[in-house]
Amino acid sequence: MTTTANNTYVYVGAETSGLYRLSPGSSQWEELTNGLPANPIVPGVTIHPDNPGIVYAGTQDGPYRSTDRGDHWERLDYPASGAPVWTFMFRPGDPSVMYLGTAPGEIYRSVNSGDSWQKLNATMGANECAMAFPTRVIALAADPSHPNEMYAALEVAGVIRSDDGGDTWDEITGSLAPSEDTLDLHGVQCSAATPHTVYITTRQGPFIGPDRGREWIPVEFSQYSPITYTRDLRASPTDPNSMYVSIGASARSSQGALYRSRDLFKTFERVDRDITANATMMAVSVDPRAPSHIYCIARDGQVFGTLDDGATWTTYQLPDKAKELRGLAAG
């Protein structure tokens, strides 16, 4: 068991009730408002990989940035007609190049650390399912060994891929269609250990897409969990063979858990111990500077954290108004 000094800041974004911060050593959540839009909807939040003082928030009014760990925020140069921001991605090896995904589904790129954004020509695919919400880009990933190779997970419309850093995109949903259960993507990741391979999470469980997603191999997740509805997917920032998967009984449920694979989806182990999630576990984040610090969030307001790689956990309750949790970043 490894426990490191807690210098980790935790940011949680809610779809209905704002953005919150937990500072190191504190058990009290601070609501962050200075410079953000009124009544912010924050489904996406991320921390700069090289400078943890820089934080980005995706809101209904576009992307915002803080350079002082969330004390103050500024709106970035983003089209006034741009859709609400749901997710961010930094280009591997060059974090000055960023991407964001929106709802309704659009993808934007910045080549100046988020100062300005340009919409890319990304078609959301031919497999969109009629839902109560528009198709959204819920996650983005790039192959660390081939950064121009990018993937976008679409909820609920499958997967698209770019081979040129986002200039053009191709539909690669393939055998995931036509089932709504497998078109309902929630996470996408790549690993330096397996170039040209993409990993996804869906309503029906995880899949592996070798050869740049030219086929989709289902993972027998039911061997490890009675629940196979998988949500967020996060690669370990330090171990290319490890990935974390959050789960729930459904999009809205009274059950949630966190699993980890140390061998790229061959096997899984439950990571959260002696805690009880009251809702679907929506997201997971690992501090890249302290990888034993792992956090996850349940949809209805709970946050769980460990400083010793999952040996022990602390439960944090957000303010009562903080529901519909979506965004999470630790660093």
25-44 pLDDT, tens digit per residue, is: 898 999 999 999 999 999 99
Residue 324 CA to residue 14 CA, distance in Å, equals 5
If we measure between CA atoms, which residue out of 76, 154, 71 comes closest to residue 110? 76
Task: List the structure tokens of 258.
Answer: 């966190």
The encoded tokens of residue 43 equal: 């489904």
The dihedral over CA atoms of 251, 252, 256, 260, expressed in degrees to the nearest 10, equals 10
Could you tell me the domains of the chain?
Answer: 10-330 (2.130.10.10)
pLDDT recorded at residue 81: 85
How high is the pLDDT of residue 267?
A: 98
Beta bridge partners of 74: 65
CA angle 180, 181, 182 (to 5 degrees): 95
Count the alpha carbons within 13 Å of 10 in the hemisphere toward its beta carbon: 27
Q: Are 147 and 165 in contact (CB under 8 A)?
A: yes
Q: Which residues contact 258 (CB under 8 A, 6 or more apart)?
A: 244, 245, 246, 247, 270, 271, 272, 281, 284, 294, 296, 304
Residue 161 near residue 213 (C-beta atoms within 8 A): yes
Question: What pLDDT sits at residue 134?
Answer: 84
Euclidean distance between CA atoms 154 and 152, whole angstroms: 6
Q: Is 16 exposed, middle or buried (0-12, 13-18, 19+ CB in 10 A)?
A: middle
Q: Which stretches of the chain drop beneath a pLDDT of 50?
A: 1
275 Cβ contact list (under 8 Å, min separation 6): 304, 313, 315
CB-based contacts of 46: which residues, under 8 Å, 6+ apart? 55, 56, 88, 90, 329
Q: Six-digit token pair at 295?
A: 């956090």
Residue 3: its pLDDT value, please?
A: 53
The pTM of this model reads 0.96
**CA distance linking residue 92 with residue 291, whole number of Å:** 18
**Exposed/middle/buried for residue 291 (C-beta within 10 Å: 0-12, 13-18, 19+):** middle
225, 201, 220: which is closest to 284 by C-alpha? 201
Helix, strand, coil in percent for the chain, rounding step 5: 5, 45, 55
Contact 210, 197 (CB under 8 A): yes
* pLDDT tens-place string over residues 125-155: 678 787 878 899 999 999 999 999 999 999 9
In 132-203, which residue ranges form alpha helices assigned H by DSSP? Answer: 180-183
Res 4: pLDDT: 63
Contacts of 159 (CB under 8 A, 6+ apart): 125, 151, 152, 153, 171, 172, 173, 176, 185, 188, 198, 200, 209, 213
